[in-house]
């Protein structure tokens, strides 16, 4: 079953602009993770935010989590052409179940 | 660290044939996951193992699909007989725990003609 839903499905921006992707989920979670997938490759873990955290940074990435709204956002600042990829959120639902991945946002950064 | 290794990277075969996909997880990772990715359905969890034991295979679509993990460094996903609707990219991932970051292989692109 789909837990996380990313929005938008696709996003196209110019190099240097910021890119914001959102993830909404339905049930309570222990943590939420973001992954990147380049064309023809496997998913790569970017960042994990726990349910008791509100914001986390890693380089040009900023992730926020609002558990009251059951949503998270991933911000990529000063985007580069190399950031072109699909981005997935994955939630860790409370209980003994593995991560549940959304369908992803396809980001295109145009040089 | 070599990462998760999957083979083959590409497989093209005719329907009815047996297909075997292979995965070598990262050493020390106790969890191994098999996924299928399609445009229509996204990333679907097929089955996962903990310490070589299958924990949840509810995502396996049919009895034609089977998975084994004979030891901590090797797992297989088998489809017999294969059908055109099985065409997809199959990923293997490993992790230190059920809810920890997963490390993915680069997948096997399977085409059933």
The stretch A81-97 carries a mean pLDDT of: 91
Which positions in chain B touch A44 (Cβ < 8 Å)?
Answer: 104
**Cα(B105)–Cα(A82) distance, rounded to whole angstroms?**
20
> CA of B24 to nearest chain A CA: how many angstroms apart?
14
Give B103 to chain A, closest Cα distance, Å. Answer: 7
Residue A80 and residue A36 in contact, taking contact as beta carbons nearer than 8 Å: no
Residue A94: pLDDT band with limits 50, 70, 90: confident
Contact B15, B5 (CB under 8 A): no
Q: Which residue has the tokens 């007989």?
A: B81
Alpha carbons within 13 angstroms on the beta-carbon side of residue B108 total: 28
Share of chain B above pLDDT 90, in %: 95
% of chain B exceeding 70 in pLDDT = 99
Alpha-carbon Rg of chain A, whole angstroms?
A: 13
**Residue A44 to residue B104, Cβ atoms within 8 A:** yes
Average pLDDT, chain B: 96
Residues of A with CB under 8 A from a CB of B: 2, 30-31, 33, 40-45, 48, 88, 90, 92, 96-104
Residue B76 CA to residue A88 CA, distance in Å, equals 26
């Amino acid at each position: 079953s789909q837990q996380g839903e990313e929005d938008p499905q696709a996003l196209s921006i110019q190099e240097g602009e910021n890119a914001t992707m959102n993830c909404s989920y339905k049930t309570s979670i222990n943590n939420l993770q973001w992954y990147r997938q380049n064309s023809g490759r496997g998913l790569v873990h970017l960042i994990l935010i726990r349910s008791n955290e509100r914001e986390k940074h890693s380089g040009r990435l900023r992730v926020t989590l609002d558990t009251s709204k059951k949503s998270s956002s991933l911000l990529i600042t000063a985007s580069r052409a190399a950031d072109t990829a699909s981005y997935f959120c994955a939630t860790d639902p409370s209980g003994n179940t593995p991560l549940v991945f959304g369908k992803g946002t396809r980001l295109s950064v145009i040089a | 660290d070599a990462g998760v290794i999957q083979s083959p990277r590409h497989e093209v075969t005719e329907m009815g044939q047996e297909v075997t996909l292979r995965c070598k997880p990262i050493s020390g990772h106790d969890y191994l996951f098999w996924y299928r990715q399609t445009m229509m359905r996204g990333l679907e969890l097929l089955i996962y193992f903990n310490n070589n034991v299958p924990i949840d295979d509810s995502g396996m679509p049919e009895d034609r699909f089977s998975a084994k993990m004979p030891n901590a460094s090797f797992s297989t996903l088998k489809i017999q007989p294969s059908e055109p609707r099985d065409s997809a990219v199959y990923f293997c991932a490993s992790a230190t725990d059920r809810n920890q970051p997963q490390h993915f292989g680069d997948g096997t692109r399977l085409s059933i003609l």
